[in-house]
Amino acid sequence: MTRYASVVALVRQFVNFTGVGFVSAIGHYGLLIALVQIASAPAVPASAAGALLGAWINYTLNYHYTFRSSKRHREAVVKFAVVATVGLVLNTFFMWVGVEVIGAHYLLSQIVTTGLVLIWSFAGNRFWTFHSRNPRD
């Protein structure tokens, strides 16, 4: 594969990863809103349920679509959980810096934080969670 083709493939994979994240967010927010508005569930557990749904969507679509992984789920799920946990820690830290240290509006901080964590999540999942020695990956 030429260097140009490798860069194009990497960019295409990143775009797919971002699209999967968008679909996961729809699942997360959709379940959150449904549980709160329709089922009158408290927001915090509803958000947790939405986050779990979003993570499941994210893992499934990234495994099959973005990275076309051939890894066993037993290995990939554990690695995915580690990358997601680090992402949660990074999200919390960057939000704290943005809101508490810098004094930025929380939505602006969340937008910047999402971009930073997106980069971490893509790299961690591409080069570790779903990485394969198979040259097609």
Residue 135 in this model has a pLDDT that exceeds 60: no
Residue 88 in this model has a pLDDT that exceeds 60: yes
Of 22, 29, 77, the C-alpha closest to 50 is 29
Residues 106-110 have a mean pLDDT of 88
**pLDDT over 70, % of the chain:** 97
Domain extents for the chain? 1-66, 70-137
> Tokens standing for 104?
């930025």
For residue 38, give the DSSP letter.
T
Cα radius of gyration rounded to whole Å, the chain: 17
Please give the pLDDT value at position 94.
Answer: 92
